[in-house]
Amino acid sequence: MKPLHFSMIALMTAAVLGGCATVQGVHKEANFAQTRQPDPCIGDWEGKWGSANLCAQVIPLAGKTYRMNLLPAFDTREPALAVLEGKAVEKGVDFAGAGLEGDMKDARITIAFRGRRMTGRVEGAVSGDIELHHVVRLSPTLGARPPKDAIVLFDGDDLDLWEARSVDPWGVNLKKTVGGENCAAYLRTWVFAPAPGKAQFAYGIEDGGKVWFNGNEIHSALEQRKVTPCYHKIPVDLREGWNTFLVKVVQNDKDWAFTARLRGLDASPVSGFFVGMPGQDAYPLESFDGNIALWEVSGPYAAEGKSGDALMDTAFAPETGDAAEWHPVPLPEQTEPGPAKWLLLGNGAVEVRGGSIQTRQKFTDQKLHVEFRTPMLPDQTGQSRGNSGVFLQNRYEVQILDSYGLSGENNDCGGIYKLAIPRVNVCAPPLQWQTYDIEFRAARFDPDWNKTEDARITVYHNGVLIHENLPIPDKTTGSQVTATSEPDSLSLQDHGNPVWFRNIWLVELPPED
């Protein structure tokens, strides 16, 4: 199969014609496709049950066991005709189980894998023999060459266009700064505004806390997640001159951290603002890219018999106005992203390791082509099985996971993470190269920070349309920036699994009102 140029017309044609191409054996460009499985039992199978067509997916599990889905067709959400359990035996694998749907319902089914062949028998109301042969179904856009106007982000040679993606370096680690368990601490700072006006105070917190602005409580939250910068976005009315922020952060069972940013209502940078202590050192807010980097801290505070959550409603000295002891929070030593540390494999691919990475260049509307390969981790399940992700604009994640043979949920491969399930699950077996072809349009906002249009995304997974012009109401879990139309990086996630990537390129789309 020749590599295809990326175009939505070509992709739509491929989807109509059946999505993944079917190739028996190894792809002719074996050095590029790398589809051969170390276990020949694993993967897609096609064949006959009597005169009926039959498809199968064989999934590796822990302890040399397997699961087989018997299906009427690939790439649909039709229920499985049967789900069989398999175990390794001498020179092969034996599968057995009962039928679930259609003519196979309640039938006894046995299938044997021997010498790269599968044969079996259905014993029930409608009996018959099964014969299956192994197939490798490759994406029609595998190896797609970038068009002339594309930005080639990774071609296998180097990671010069990428950098490490780190959590907001201006965040305050209170466990390191003051320490303690089931306690509270307070942070305070001052922001100078050159004129009265509205701004956006965006913050992330772990485990929970409250925020006061110019003496008034403006927000409180108890979190069940790690600190996510800009997760909470609060509009504030700044007065001319100095404005005060007081934050209470409670510690329960997580790491205990806080981060905050002050920008315009549309999250755009502001100028003429200063952060610091009146009469002492103050620095332009824009020199920290809107991040509030200078804080004083008081604490830790605890109350006998009360957990960190319970301390949300227990007022200590800084909150009551009594005398409190304050100390400056040291500025971080490292504020700029470091180099991307992923492992170049010398075969055109790179392996995930050493933290998530992001492009140095920032983008808004775009078309994107990404190729990836999940590892073989039969002993793992769920989110520990080949996990990574593609973050558009550093805000919206298209999940990568070894979800081969699963139902295809919003946290499976192809899902818009925790927001939208793929139309069908077309995840390929582990160790087989796969493709995402994505068209993305950023969210739109008016000058007063009112969103006029959600971000929208179209995704083809292995040539099959799984999301079409889908609105995304907000950033997905794991995003480190607020959801705006402001340009931002493409990022790839390190979730602790050795996923491979290659052939990544992007076409910037002209803005449309």
Say if residues 193 and 201 touch (Cβ distance below 8 Å).
no
Q: How does pLDDT run across 253-307, given as a tens digit for each residue?
A: 677 889 899 988 877 888 899 998 887 878 898 888 888 989 999 999 999 988 8
| Alpha helices (H) in 198-334, listed in sequence order | 317-320
Asked whether the bond before 494 is cis by omega within 30 degrees of 0, the reply is no
Of 424, 428, 406, 411, the C-alpha closest to 465 is 424
* pLDDT for position 382: 87
Q: Would you state the pLDDT for residue 513?
A: 61
More confident residue, 421 or 445: 421
Mean pLDDT rounded to a whole number for the chain: 87
Reply yes or no on whether the pLDDT at 118 is more than 90: yes
pLDDT for residue 335: 62
pLDDT of the residue at 129: 96
**460-483 per-position pLDDT tens digit:** 999 999 999 999 998 887 776 655
CA 146 to chain centroid, in Å, comes to 24
Rounded to 5 degrees, φ, ψ at 35 are -100, -10
CB atoms within 10 A of CB 336: 8
Tell me the two tokens of residue 434.
Answer: 């796969």
Q: How far apart are CA 371 and CA 342, in angstroms?
A: 16
Residue type, 25: G
- Contact status, residue 209 vs residue 374, Cβ threshold 8 Å: no
pLDDT tens digits along 34-77: 445 689 999 999 999 999 999 999 999 999 999 999 999 999 99
pLDDT for 512 beyond 80: no
pLDDT digit string, tens, across residues 215-252: 999 999 887 666 777 778 899 999 999 999 999 999 87
3-state secondary structure 287-327: HHCCECCCCEEEEEECCCCCCCHHHHHCCCHHHHCCCCCCE
Query: Tell me, what's the pLDDT at 167?
Result: 56
Tokens of 188: 């305070």
Min mean pLDDT across 305-309, 364-368, 440-444 is at: 305-309
User: Contact, 32 vs 143, CB < 8 A?
Assistant: yes
Chain-centre distance for alpha carbon 425: 17
Is pLDDT of 21 > 50? Answer: no
Domains (ranges, CATH) in the chain? 21-138 (2.40.128), 151-166+337-508 (2.60.120.560), 172-328 (2.60.120)
pLDDT at position 333? 61
Q: Name the pTM for this structure.
A: 0.73
